[in-house]
Amino acid sequence: NERAQVFYRAGDFAAAGEAFEEAAQVARRAGVDSLARQAERALPVCAYRAAEAAVTADSTKHERHAELFEQVTKRWPEYEHAPIAQYRAGLAWLDAGRTSEAVRALEVLTERWPKHKLAREARLRIAQSWEAAGEDARASTAWLEYANRHPGDKDAPGAWLRAADLADSAGQGARADEL
């Protein structure tokens, strides 16, 4: 545990995570559950900080950043910053030019943490991403989802119009008329 803390204080969060993992395993084998739980609580923090450090070290490795942030949410979905990690994964996938992966990551956020403050922003990004990719039918559906989930939002009326326009552009005239 001391070794892990030294790594953490030095800013080597990946090494700290490995050391905390090892400390948790040793504590479990020794039957010292309180020490194991303490080490286990540090694991998601180390993983999140390691992902942040990777962005700081080289801001151009978008795919790697997305993977690191997604690892946090997959392994520790109850971690307090998991929704933020999931959102950052989506943004990193967008920066990498991988729209489908970005939308998938952002949808995970909206499904797993629908009441989180970033869920609204994630839905907005999903619609914008499909539209930017020229996926008019998907963008229309996403704008409609945004408007339905956030009916009182100042952007909801515009989202409805966007959904109708994009449905029409996608050759879905009947659907556009419905909207």
Per-residue pLDDT for 165 more than 90? no
Q: Please name the residues in contact with 54: beta carbons below 8 A apart, sequence gap of 6 or more.
A: 61, 64, 65, 68
SS3 53: helix
Per-residue pLDDT for 177 more than 70? no
pLDDT tens, position by position, 25-75: 999 999 999 999 999 999 999 999 999 999 999 999 999 999 999 999 999
pLDDT tens, position by position, 15-28: 999 999 999 999 99
What is the total residue count of the chain? 179
* CA count, 13 A, side-chain hemisphere, 77: 6
Residue in this structure with the two tokens 């286990």, named with its chain if needed: 40
Predicted local confidence at residue 175, as pLDDT: 67
Per-residue pLDDT for 14 more than 80? yes
pTM: 0.89
Predicted local confidence at residue 179, as pLDDT: 63
pLDDT tens, position by position, 112-125: 999 999 999 999 99
SS3 32: coil
Cβ pair 160, 125 in contact under 8 A? no
Cβ pair 139, 131 in contact under 8 A? yes
pLDDT tens, position by position, 69-101: 999 999 999 999 999 999 999 999 999 999 999
Residue 22 burial by Cβ neighbours in a 10 Å radius (0-12, 13-18, 19+): middle
Closest by Cα among 14, 15, 11 to 3: 15
